[in-house]
Structures are given as C-alpha cells and as structure tokens.
C-alpha cells in the first residue's frame, strides 16, 4: 500500500494495525497465563521448573529434565497441561464457532449451540455413559459425542433442505426441532440411569478436569484446521451477512459457502463439546462483544475471538480451581458470570429506537 | 454504440403456479440508461433478478454473449452489479468496509488490497458522495446514506451492466440528480449500461430507453419521448396524462382530497 492511498483512509489502516497489536498482546498474555496456570495446584511447582519441564519435553532433550522430580514432571505434563491446553482450545473453538454461526445465520445473538449440534453431542455422550454404567462397556463418551453431533448436523441440513432450502430460518427451525427431540432423549436416558444419573449430569454441565492428551489430539486439529479454513474464507463470510441475493451478486456461491461454514462451525463445536461438555456463553459473548467493540470484519474478528476465547476460558478454569476443592464445573461459572454480564451489555448497548444490540 | 448488452428471448417465469412474466422479448443496447417501469406487481423486480442471472427463467433465455443463468457466479459478479432496496445489515461494518466488499469478485483470497484498488474505492465513494463518513458504522447512518454506500459498492465492482431496484428512490431530490449525473459520466467513461427500476416518472424521463411492464407482459419499449403518450399512461398506469410537446408531460387525474 503506498503512502498516498493509506493517507486517504488513515483511520482504517490505523484501526487495523491496532487490532493486530491487540491480538498479539492477548496471545502473549495467554502464554503467560498458561505458565501461571501450570504452577497452580496442590503441588507447588515453581514457574522456572515448569518452563524447564516444557522445554525438555518439547525439545526431547532428557538432560534438561534430569534435575527435576519425576512426580513434578508427571503432574505438569500428564495432568495439568492437557487440562489447560484443552481449556485453551475449547475456549478458542467455541469463540470461532460462535463467530461463524453469528455471521452465517445473520444473527449477532446466535451461538455454537443454535442449530442443535451440541445437543446431539450431549445425547451421544449421555448414551455412552449410560451403556458403560448399565452393561459395563468401555465406550468413549468423546467419540460418541462427536459422532452424534455429526449425525445431528446431517439431519438438520436434510430437514432444512426438504423444508425449502438451506436458508437461515430453515436451519434454525430444524435445529430447534432436532434439539428438542434430543433433549427429551437425554431426559429419558437420565431417567433410566437411575442412581448413576450424576455422571451424566456432571458431563452435561461442562468441565475440564481429567482431560488427557487423547482429548487434545481430537480438539486441537479440528480447532486449528477449522479456524484456518474459516479465516481463509472470511471475506465470503462477511458477504454472507448481506443475505443470499446480495451475496450472489458479489460473486459468492452461497450454497457452497454455507455448507462449508456449517461443517466447519459444527465440527469445531462437536469437538469442543465432546471433550468438555456444554460450556455456555463463551461462544456467544466473546464474538458478540468483540464484534461491537472492534469490527464486524471476520478476517480480523475470527483470530481475535480465538485468542480472547481461549484466554477467558483459561481464566474461568483457573478461577474454579482456585475457589473450590470439589471443583465447580467451569460451564456453570461461565454461565453464572456470562449471563449477568450479557444483561449488562444488553442494557447498555441496545439501540433504544431500533432495539438492535 | 449499438451493440447489444442483453438479449431477452421469450422469457416466461412463474412462482409456483402463479405466472409472473410472459413472453418477454427485447434487446437492451450497450451504454444505454434503461428504466424499467410498471405498476406494482407487474413483475419488474422479478425481471431484474432474471436479467442479472440470480434467478433462472423457466422458459426462454437471456444472453450477454452467453446465457447469463449459466455464467460462472464470480464471472457474473465481475460484469454485473446489482443494487437492491431490500438489503440491510445488522452487523457493525464501517461504510468503507462495506464499499470494499465490491472488490471481492476481482480479488484473490490470498492477496491483500492493492493501492489501485483502494484508489478505486476512493473514487466510488466520491461518486456516491460518502467519502466523508468512510469510518462510520453502517448501523448508525440514515437509509439514504446506506443506499449511497451500496451504490459505491456496486461501482467498485466495475460492472458492464449496473442493475438498480429503486436504488435512488430513497434519496432526496438534489442527491438523486447528482447521482444520476455521476452515473451518466461514469457511463460515458466506461461504456457501462444501466437498467433501473423506478417509480419516479421524472427521473425515468431522463433515461435513454423505457421498458414498461403491465401484468407480466412487455407493454412498451423505446426512448421516453416515443413511449410516453397519453394512451400509454391510460393503458399501463390507468391515469390520465397530458403531454406537453418539447417540455414533457404531467399527470392530470381526478384526485379527491379527504380531510
């Protein structure tokens, strides 16, 4: 960009470079928070030890780890790091997915759970837990959750297609229908689980303890690859916000773009819900507030939401670890804090004339 | 300058079992300002969506060298731009960001905006008279201002044909005339063709050709001074008009004011 042109729109270029800095600062804060979070817990481990453990494990140089106690390495690498990384990826994934669904459904109040994929995941996980308890199977609730989330998406798309086309209203409507049926299914599973219902209820509340590297291996590639594809097609997503007819006049293949984003958004949501249960409000609030505080441009909003989402979920998870020994599920905290915060934003920002947030 | 921009051949279109357009045949010449007029429900908007290739006729063909409904969507967006009155946006984009969306058909997904493209955006905003509020949120501007943002976005597309569905009807009279003049000079500069739906009979008179629809059929096509006759107004709009030779016309009908 030559100087003369950037002088014509100085504010635009200044604003965009500010957003880049915000993103970088937030990413740096997240890295510091990661180290701090690894140091937190019943076993006291100093931050410099943590950095050495990470350096040794990542580089594969065992001599760095020689002077460190084996149980410290196990706690950091096998217990705390998977949980914290899981929180970072889930927070990031939910925020990216929220960003996608808000633009795709042309509704700034949509979230990753709007079209019912999460209810599908919850049904799958509940079913796996029930079968494990009742018949002594060793089914993976994560795998079941992911599979059922995928089938839910296919069903929602098919119903929307049969109902006149894959348009916003049809998708939301078929999402609500499938969601309601699956919710009843979950209630039924809870009922027949009897005394063992607590395992299902706890899963549904959304939490991060006892995450393993296998969970990271599921959620990380889906969030990273999905986020990257979402970012590459961000211009198309910006145009989708204008509605189908206008988007087509600007050269966007709306059917294809909608399908790509539905698959990406749902895959990210499914992966997040599969490993952590249903964590509320992160996927709604983060992109919603960032959109109105920074920009509606998804090219900037997607990476910014990703970093902010991971930071917020990591903070929330640290808070639940700090305030209770019995561990409140982080999903409960995000909803408890996120809900009232959203009411505050709603009252503060609602345009009195148009009612638009 | 008598080449054809769009050739319309035996167009039929219906929504379900309700027919909307019947047997439309005509040719729109390049570099002409064509006004599409007719009473409400006569099929103007449907015809416009067919002409720009967004909808497909059940019968007949629309040719812009090739069949427009078979053109690649991106290729079509490089040649045709459409301004509708219905568009709205609930998301906080700035006016500049919205105008820049017009660059989409001409940009690769992986390249950043070039200096000459920014120059183009600047010129389009100047034509639409919106460069002073480039950084304002589109949710905080008036309907008329938003319409000018959409006009600028369509100009950025550098279309061969610009389609407008009552695009300038929400503008005040001075802005309407200014935009009209700007479009005329853009047409002279680039050879662009304009097809515009309008109910403003005064701005319609400024166009090169008038295409009138009545109940889904083509009622008249030609320059305004040949189309606008007293019988035309009576037949198409069911109003009485008086033609003043060399000066124009005015609508004279019995109007009762009820207070």
For B96, name the nearest residue in chain A, comparing CA atoms only: A12
Q: What local confidence, expressed as pLDDT, does residue A185 receive? A: 96
Which range has the worst mean pLDDT, A122-131, A224-233, B106-115?
Answer: B106-115
Q: Are strands B248-251 and B241-244 parallel, antiparallel or unpaired?
A: antiparallel
Which range has the worst mean pLDDT, A194-208, B67-81, B118-132?
Answer: A194-208
pLDDT tops 90 at residue A353: no
pLDDT tops 90 at residue A338: no
Q: Please, which pLDDT band fits residue B175 given cuts at 50, 70 and 90?
A: confident
Structure confidence by residue, pLDDT tens digits, B27-69: 999 999 999 999 998 999 999 999 999 999 999 999 998 999 8
Average pLDDT for chain A: 89
Q: Please, which pLDDT band fits residue B253 given cuts at 50, 70 and 90?
A: low
Residue B195, beta-bridge partner list: B34, B163
In this complex, the residue of A4, A250, A356 whose CB is nearest that of residue B104 is: A250
Distance from CA of A95 to the nearest CA of B (A): 17
Distance from CA of A343 to the nearest CA of B (A): 19
Cα separation of A296 and B128, whole Å?
Answer: 23
For chain B, the first-to-last Cα distance in angstroms comes to 53
Which range has the worst mean pLDDT, A245-254, A256-265, B183-192, B203-212?
Answer: B203-212
**Cα–Cα distance list, A271 to A101, A210, A306 (Å):** 16, 16, 15
In this structure, what DSSP letter does residue B137 have?
B
Residue B178, beta-bridge partner list: none
Phi, psi of B18 (to 5 degrees): -95, 110
> How long is chain A?
357
Cα separation of A265 and A87, whole Å?
Answer: 18
* Element (DSSP H or E) covering residue A35: helix A10-39
User: In this complex, do B109 and A245 lie within 8 Å of one another by their Cβ atoms?
Assistant: no
Cα separation of B93 and B90, whole Å?
Answer: 9
pLDDT tops 50 at residue A254: yes
Into which CATH architecture does domain A3-349 fall?
Orthogonal Bundle (1.10)
In percent, the amount of chain B with pLDDT more than 70 equals: 94
**Cα–Cα distance list, B152 to B96, B101, B114, B167 (Å):** 10, 10, 18, 11
| Cβ contact A103:A238 at 8 Å | yes
User: In this complex, do B91 and A108 lie within 8 Å of one another by their Cβ atoms?
Assistant: yes
Residue position matching structure tokens 């809900």: A339
pLDDT tops 80 at residue A346: no
Q: What local confidence, expressed as pLDDT, does residue A199 receive? A: 86
Residue position matching structure tokens 């503060």: A348
A3 touches B: beta carbon within 8 Å: no
Distance from CA of A247 to the nearest CA of B (A): 10
Cα separation of B211 and B220, whole Å?
Answer: 6
State both tokens at A126.
């509940």
Cα separation of B95 and B145, whole Å?
Answer: 9
In this structure, what DSSP letter does residue B133 have?
G
Q: What local confidence, expressed as pLDDT, does residue B189 receive? A: 92
Q: Where are the domains of chain A?
A: 3-349
A356 touches B: beta carbon within 8 Å: yes
**Cα–Cα distance list, A207 to A32, A86, A88, A329, B247 (Å):** 22, 10, 13, 5, 78
Q: In a 3-state reduction of DSSP, which class is residue B162?
A: strand
| Cβ contact A304:A290 at 8 Å | yes
CA atoms within 13 A on the CB side of A197: 10
User: In this complex, do B81 and A292 lie within 8 Å of one another by their Cβ atoms?
Assistant: no
**Cα-based torsion angle of the residue sequence A118, A124, A126, A132 in order, rounded to the nearest 10 degrees:** -150
| Cβ contact A324:A337 at 8 Å | no
B52 touches A: beta carbon within 8 Å: yes
Classify domain B4-227 at the CATH class level: alpha beta
Q: Are strands B209-214 and B4-15 parallel, antiparallel or unpaired?
A: unpaired
* Interfacial B residues in 103-132 facing A (CB < 8 Å): 104-105, 107, 109-110, 112-115, 118-119, 122
pLDDT tops 80 at residue A91: yes
Is residue B50 packed enough to be buried (19+ CB in 10 Å), middle (13-18) or exposed (0-12)? Answer: buried
B142 touches A: beta carbon within 8 Å: no
A9 touches B: beta carbon within 8 Å: yes
B7-32 burial code (b ≥16 CB/10 A, e <16): ebbebebeeeeeebbbebeeebebbb
In percent, the amount of chain A with pLDDT more than 70 equals: 95
Phi, psi of B27 (to 5 degrees): -130, 130
Structure confidence by residue, pLDDT tens digits, B7-17: 999 999 998 88
pLDDT tops 60 at residue A5: no
Mean pLDDT in residue range A226-238: 96
B74 touches A: beta carbon within 8 Å: yes
B191 Cα distance to chain centroid: 16
Q: What local confidence, expressed as pLDDT, does residue A355 receive? A: 47
Mean pLDDT in residue range A120-136: 90
For A291, name the nearest residue in chain B, comparing CA atoms only: B92
Of B7, B50, B1, give the one whose Cα is nearest residue B197: B50
- Rg of chain B over CA atoms, in angstroms? 19
Structure confidence by residue, pLDDT tens digits, A184-224: 999 999 999 888 888 889 888 888 887 889 889 999 999 99
A209 touches B: beta carbon within 8 Å: no
User: In this complex, do B73 and A251 lie within 8 Å of one another by their Cβ atoms?
Assistant: yes
In this complex, the residue of B78, B107, B118 whose CB is nearest that of residue A5 is: B118
Q: What local confidence, expressed as pLDDT, does residue B257 receive? A: 45
Cα separation of A249 and B81, whole Å?
Answer: 6
Q: Where are the domains of chain B?
A: 4-227, 230-259
Structure confidence by residue, pLDDT tens digits, A295-332: 999 999 999 999 999 999 999 999 888 887 667 888 88
| Cβ contact A86:A211 at 8 Å | yes
State both tokens at B162.
């610009």
State the best of A109, A233, A250 to mutate against chain B, taking most chain B CBs within 10 Å: A250
Cα separation of A122 and A68, whole Å?
Answer: 41
Of B58, B57, B59, B1, give the one whose Cα is nearest residue B28: B1
Q: Does A98 or B240 have the greater pLDDT score?
A: A98
Mean pLDDT in residue range B116-120: 92
**Cα-based torsion angle of the residue sequence A48, A54, A58, A62 in order, rounded to the nearest 10 degrees:** 70
ipTM of the modeled complex: 0.90
Q: What local confidence, expressed as pLDDT, does residue A153 receive? A: 92
Residue B129, C-beta contacts closer than 8 angstroms, at least 6 positions apart: B148, B175, B178, B179
């Amino acid at each position: 960009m030559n100087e003369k042109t950037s002088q014509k729109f100085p504010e635009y270029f200044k604003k965009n470079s500010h957003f880049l800095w915000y993103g970088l600062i937030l990413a740096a804060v997240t890295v510091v928070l990661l180290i701090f979070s690894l140091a937190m817990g019943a076993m006291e481990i100093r931050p410099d030890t943590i950095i050495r453990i990470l350096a040794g494990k990542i580089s594969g140089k065992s001599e760095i780890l020689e002077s460190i106690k084996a149980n410290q390495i196990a706690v950091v690498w096998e217990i705390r790091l998977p949980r914290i990384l899981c929180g970072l990826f889930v927070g990031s994934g939910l925020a990216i997915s929220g960003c996608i669904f808000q633009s795709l459904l042309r509704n700034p109040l949509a979230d990753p759970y709007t079209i019912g994929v999460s209810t599908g995941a919850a049904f799958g996980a509940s079913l796996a837990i029930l079968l494990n308890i009742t018949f002594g199977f060793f089914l993976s609730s994560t795998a079941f959750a992911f599979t059922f989330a995928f089938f839910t998406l296919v069903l929602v798309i098919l119903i929307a297609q049969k109902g006149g086309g894959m348009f916003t209203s049809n998708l939301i409507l078929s999402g609500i229908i499938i969601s309601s049926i699956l919710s009843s299914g979950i209630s039924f599973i809870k009922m027949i689980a009897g005394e063992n219902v607590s395992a299902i209820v706890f899963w549904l509340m959304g939490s991060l303890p006892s995450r393993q590297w296998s969970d990271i291996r599921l959620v990380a590639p889906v969030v990273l690859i999905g986020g990257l594809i979402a970012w590459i097609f961000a211009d198309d997503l910006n145009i989708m916000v204008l509605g189908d007819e206008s988007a087509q006049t600007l050269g966007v293949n709306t059917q294809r773009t909608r399908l790509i984003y539905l698959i990406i958004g749902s895959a990210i949501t499914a992966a997040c819900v599969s490993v952590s249960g249903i964590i509320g409000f992160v996927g709604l609030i983060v992109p919603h507030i960032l959109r109105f505080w920074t920009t509606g441009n998804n090219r900037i909003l997607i990476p910014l939401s990703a970093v902010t989402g991971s930071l917020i979920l990591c903070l929330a998870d640290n808070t639940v670890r700090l305030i209770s020994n019995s561990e409140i599920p982080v999903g409960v905290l995000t909803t408890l804090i996120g809900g009232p915060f959203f009411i505050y934003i709603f009252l503060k920002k609602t345009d009195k004339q148009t009612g638009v947030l | 300058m008598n080449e054809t921009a769009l050739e319309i051949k035996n167009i039929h279109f219906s929504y379900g079992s309700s027919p909307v357009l019947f047997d439309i045949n005509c040719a729109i010449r390049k570099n002409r300002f064509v006004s599409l007029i007719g009473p409400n429900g006569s099929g103007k908007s449907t015809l416009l969506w067919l002409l720009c290739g967004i909808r497909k006729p059940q019968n007949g063909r629309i040719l812009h060298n090739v069949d427009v409904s078979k053109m690649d969507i991106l290729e079509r967006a490089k040649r045709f731009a459409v301004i509708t009155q219905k568009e709205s946006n609930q998301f906080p984009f700035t006016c500049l960001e919205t105008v820049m969306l017009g660059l989409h058909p001409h940009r690769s997904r992986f390249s950043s905006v070039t200096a000459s493209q920014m120059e183009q955006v600047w010129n389009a905003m100047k034509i639409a008279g919106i460069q002073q509020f480039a950084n304002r949120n589109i949710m905080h501007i008036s309907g008329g201002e938003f319409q000018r943002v959409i006009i600028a976005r369509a100009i950025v597309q550098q279309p061969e044909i610009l389609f407008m569905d009552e695009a300038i009807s929400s503008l005040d009279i001075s802005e309407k005339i200014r935009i009209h003049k700007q479009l005329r000079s853009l047409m002279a500069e680039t050879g662009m063709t304009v097809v515009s739906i309008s109910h403003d009979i005064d701005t319609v008179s400024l166009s090169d050709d008038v295409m009138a629809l009545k109940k889904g059929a083509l009622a008249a096509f030609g320059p305004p001074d040949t189309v606008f006759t007293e019988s035309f107004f009576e037949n198409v709009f069911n109003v009485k008009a008086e033609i003043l030779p060399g000066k124009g016309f005015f609508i004279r009908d019995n109007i009762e004011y009820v207070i």
